[in-house]
């Protein structure tokens, strides 16, 4: 979808502060509140704005260990035929420790972002859940030492 300059400005404003009121957005874009409100609602209806969330500090919530896990699929046969890659990624995504699941190209098939209390929690997730899953052939876990940038912002 092609966005106009005002839509882009609204999206930049809401990415930086999702709690901005329509009044504050209207002031920033130089339009009436009803116009700003209607434009925001339209961006939501189009699915460009998918929702609003609070960003939590994982350290203060005792889940400060982040890991990225690469996984390969084995494609074992089941009663219904081959295990689907999409089915496996959906199954992985159901775990509460998992923040992101991506199907990727290259030597590995999937990249998973996990948060846990400590290295033991991440280890337990990998050994007891991920490696026990039908269709997962091997994994490679990378523990994050320090995060320089973490964002959900999209350049527009």
CATH of the domain at 30: 1.10.10
Residues 88 and 126 in one domain: yes
Q: Locate 60 and state its tokens.
A: 């203060």
Name residue, tokens 């960003």: 55
- Beta-bridge partner residues of 69: 112, 141
Sign of CA dihedral 7, 8, 9, 15: positive
Residue 8 CA to residue 107 CA, distance in Å, equals 37
What is this structure's pTM?
Answer: 0.85
Does residue 154 fall inside a structural domain? no
Q: How many domains does the chain have?
A: 2
Q: Domain range spanning residue 40?
A: 5-45
Q: What is the pLDDT along the chain (156 residues), one digit of tens a residue?
A: 899 999 999 999 999 999 999 999 999 999 999 999 999 999 999 999 999 999 999 999 999 999 999 999 986 655 666 678 899 999 999 999 999 999 999 999 999 999 999 999 999 999 999 999 988 999 999 999 999 999 999 998
Residues 40 and 82 in one domain: no
Does residue 39 fall inside a structural domain? yes
């Amino acid at each position: 979808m092609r966005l106009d300059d005002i839509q882009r400005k609204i999206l930049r404003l809401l990415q930086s502060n999702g709690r901005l009121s329509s009044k504050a957005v209207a002031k920033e874009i130089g339009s009436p509140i009803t116009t700003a409100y209607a434009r925001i609602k339209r961006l939501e209806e189009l699915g460009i704005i998918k929702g609003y969330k609070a960003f939590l500090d994982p350290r203060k919530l005792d889940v400060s260990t982040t890991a990225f896990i690469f996984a390969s699929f084995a494609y074992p046969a089941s009663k219904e035929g081959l295990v689907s890659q999409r089915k496996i990624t959906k199954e992985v995504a159901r775990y509460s420790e998992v923040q992101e699941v991506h199907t990727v190209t290259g030597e590995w098939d999937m990249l998973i972002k996990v948060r846990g209390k400590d290295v033991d929690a991440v280890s337990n997730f990998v050994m007891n859940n991920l490696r026990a899953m039908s269709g997962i052939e091997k994994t490679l876990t990378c523990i994050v030492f320090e995060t320089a940038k973490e964002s959900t912002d999209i350049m527009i």
